[in-house]
Each structure stands twice: as structure tokens, then as C-alpha cells.
Amino acid sequence: MKKFNLFVFLLTFILILTACNGNEGDQTGAGTDSEGNADEDVVTVWTYPHYEGNEETGQQSYEEDLKDLIAEFEAENPGVKVKHEILSWAEGGKKFTAALNSGNPPDVFFSLFDEKYVNTGLAVPLTDYVTEEDLADLNDFGEQMYTYEDQLWGFPHYISVHTWGGNRAMLEEAGVDVEKIQQEGWTWDEFYEIAKKGTKTVEGKEVYGFVTQGQNEETYTQLMMQNGVRNMVSEDGEFMFKGDKALETLSFLERLRNDGIMPKETGGIDPAKADVMFNNGQAMIYGRTGPYKIRENENRNADIDAGKVDGEKIDFVLLPLPHNDGEKENAFGGAGGLMLFKQKDDKGEAHTENAAKLLLKLTSTESGKLGATLFIPPSRQSGQEMYKEELKLDTPNGQFVQRYITTLTPGAKLPEAIVQNAGKLKTESVIPNYQSFIIGNATAEETVKAWEDYAKTLGFK
């Protein structure tokens, strides 16, 4: 009994002690504190840790760069105070969802464009705040990505593009002219032959010509784009993953799997696993990846040189997705940027204007560093100019990115009436049936049939 009391007492003591410490900490941690003068307007921004700091190169982390931009902004706009929060990639979206649907979203939030956000009525169009010069500077595809119902709903930091990636040493061993593929693209048949040459067993280790994730339909969807089908559902409500086009694409994947060019376990491979297999030399080509992998790979090679990481260095090359014979390359990509929101308990026009100013400051030419650091093209022409060295525009990879982003096309922006059913079709049929297909439980024909039937029940043409 006494001992138990003692324990409770001890815990309480520790508690009081730590609580005191805690309060001190609060006061010193004033950087993001909301306390301020009553006449100060507090603007909130939520974003993500886009890049890490690196001691060796002296590279600042994104948060540090963000703080610098915020300090500049606060100096230019006296009376406005900025509160920022760096979310975690894994769970940040959920937190924003909770905040948004409670009517209390941050004023500025990093996000790809999402119709659902606009449909809540809390997103604020940037159209009235953005200048002509801003728009002229902005990459067209970036502008299209954030345009919905004739309004601009956000301003992108960068244009992201999905590519495949390859191990140059392995590709050249298979007799491939990498630069030619980067500049001219390749067809499914050409890809198949090359990947087949790359499939072998080295010292008891299986090396695959191609590795991709099979947890969802992403690889299929992006290959459909190389077969002339841009969207799962078109803007006028037609289901597009049907008929011969769908069958051709699935059969292509089926052939790769059945011939052992890609692992028969593809259904169980997630994106991280595919990346690891590539790093470990178990894959000649893998995808999807993106220009960001160039930076990652450089860091990895440096870590291997420094003895921090065990492994073989890789000469990484970006590759286009192969296209079906007779179809055009059509890169899949998006734009990452900031969106503007108001709260349910509206804080007034002046507040929104301050938030819009902050948004444009954080996506200004200087912020092109975000894209450049990740090796993703900044969305502003001026940003690409400013950071052309970081973007290595003179290397084959850099030139490839420049070429490949010209093949980007924006996806269908579905009207509110069908957006929910399209989501349902994807999560309840397209993905589940694809998962059955990729592990070999269903044939290409059965899969397409199941999709078509489900689309009909949801009222798609």
C-alpha cells in the first residue's frame, strides 16, 4: 500500500516537474506562436517537408527555407503574422480533411487540385488576386491543373511528371541507346524486347527486366494513356476502360508477367518495394518513378562513397513510358502547389487578401527552389531560369524532362454530379478487379467484363 502510494506520488512529482519545464518551452518556442497583438492578422499555412536538410552539402531543409520566405513576407506586410505547420506526408491529408470538414481549414494548404475541396464551398478562387504577370509566367499545364469551372483554385510550385527509370549500366549491357529512347520514346514491342534481354539470373540473384507496383491500378492507368485513353471516365460520363483498348493494355501486362519479365509477385509489390528492388540491382527498368529519383539517387551514391550505405552505385536514367504502336506518348503528371481557403466562420475579405498575398509569395519565382531541389520543373518560367543549374538542363536526363513535360495533358475535370460515382467505380471495381488480374486470378477478358458491368450499374455509358 505504502509503496503504491509512493509510486503515485512519484509519478505526480515527475508530472509537475515536467509540466513546469513544458511551460518554459512554450514561451521560448515563440517562432510559431499565435499569441500576438489584437490588431495583427494571423494567416495559417500547412505544408509538407518537401526536402530534408543535408549537413554535407549545407542544404537547408524546406522548413528553414519556408521560414526565410515567411520572414520576408512579414517584413513586407507589417500587421500580418504567419503561422506555419509542417505536416507528415503519411497522415497530413487526413488532418486537413478533418480541419476542412470542421469548417476550420488553414488559409493556405499544399495540395494537388481536388474537386472535393472546391465542392465544400470553402476553397477560394485565386482569380481575383493573381496578376497578369503571374499568369504569363506560369506553365500552361500547371494553370490547367488548378483550373475548374473557369476559376483558378491554386498556384503550383512545380510540374510533376511520372516516368520510368533505368539502370544505365544494365541497359547498355543489353545494347540499348538510352539517349535515343529518351528523345524519341519507344513502343511496347521495343520495350518488351529490351526488357527481355535484361531479365536474367546473376549469381543466383533474379534480375527482372521490369519491376512495378501492383497494389493498385496505377501502372495500368498510365499505360492506357500510352494507348490513347487519357481518362477512366470522360467528362460526359463515358467509362473508357473498356473494349479493345483496355484488353490490349492488360494483355501487354499479362505478357510481361507470364514471360517472367516482371515478377509474378507483382501484385504484392508496393512502390517502396519496387524502388528498393531497383536500388538493389534486381531490376533493369522500374516505374513509376520521377525526376525526384535523380536527386535521391545522387544522395544515395554519395552515401555509398562516404561509406554510410552498403550497396552498388547506380547510374540512373529517366525513361519515358513506352507507347502502343501507332499511339502517341502522353505523360502523366500533376502540379503541386498551394490552395487558398476560408473558414466557415469567415474572417473577412482583408484576411483572405492577406492569405492570397502569402500564397503568391510562397509560390514566387524564388520558391522554384522547391522544385529544383527535388529535380522537378518549377511551374514558373522565371523559376526554371533561376534554377537552371540545379535542374541540369544540359544533361540527357534534364533534357528528357524538358521534352517529356510537353506531352502532359490535364485529365478530365468531372462535373459534381458524376464525381462521386467515378470514385466509387474506381475503388469498388477498377482497383479490386485489377488486383485479381495482376496476381493471375482473373484473365484480361474477365477483368474488362467485370469493369464494364459495374460501370453500367453506376449509370456510365
Number of CB atoms found within 10 A of residue 370's CB: 26
Nearer to another protein, 228 or 271 (CB): 271
Closest CA to 110 of 154, 149, 143, 151: 154
Strand partners, 318: 165
* Integer Cα distance of 317 and 164 in angstroms: 9
| Residue showing cell 511551460 | 23
- 260 grid coordinates: 517472367
Q: Which CB atom, from 31 or from 175, has the smaller least distance to another protein?
A: 31
Beta strands in 134-279 (DSSP E): 147-148, 151-152, 154-161, 163-167, 200-202, 205-212
Q: How far apart are the first and last CA of the chain?
A: 74
CB nearer another protein, residue 79 or residue 121:
121
Q: Of 81-110, which residues contact another protein (CB under 8 A)? A: 83, 85, 88-91, 93-95, 97-104
Among 42, 112, 276, 393, binds another protein (CB under 8 A): 276
For 115, phi then psi, to 5°, come to -55, -35
> Where does this chain touch another protein (CB under 8 A) — which range of 131-139, 238-246, 305-313, 401-409?
305-313
Residue type at position 77: N
Per CB under 8 A, contacts with another protein among 328-347 are 344-345
Which of these ranges, 181-189, 249-257, 260-268, 389-397, lies near another protein under the rule CB under 8 A? Answer: 260-268
301 binds another protein (CB under 8 A): no
The beta strands (E) that lie in 231-324 are given as 283-289, 316-319
Binding to another protein, residues 220-259 (CB under 8 A): none
Out of 145, 250, 269, 319, name the contact with another protein by CB under 8 A.
Answer: 269
Distance between CA atoms of 455 and 346, rounded to whole angstroms? 40
Closest Cα partner for 157 from 372, 411, 409, 326?
372
Place of cell 482497383: 431
Cβ contact 405:377 at 8 Å: yes
The residues in 25-44 that bind another protein, with binding defined as CB under 8 A, are 25-26, 29, 32-34
CB-wise, 54 or 402, nearer to another protein?
54
**Minimal distance, residue 243 CB to another protein, in Å:** 22
Q: If binding is defined by CB under 8 A, does position 456 make contact with another protein?
A: no
Q: In the set 47, 163, 199, 216, which binds another protein (CB under 8 A)? A: 216
Of residues 108-127, those binding another protein (CB under 8 A): 116, 119-122
Among 203, 310, 349, 394, binds another protein (CB under 8 A): 310
Candidates 35-43, 248-256, 377-385, 422-430 — which segment interacts with another protein by CB under 8 A? Answer: 422-430
Q: Which three cell numbers stand for residue 313?
A: 552505385
Residue 417 binds another protein (CB under 8 A): no
Near another protein by CB under 8 A: residue from 236, 238, 265, 305: 265
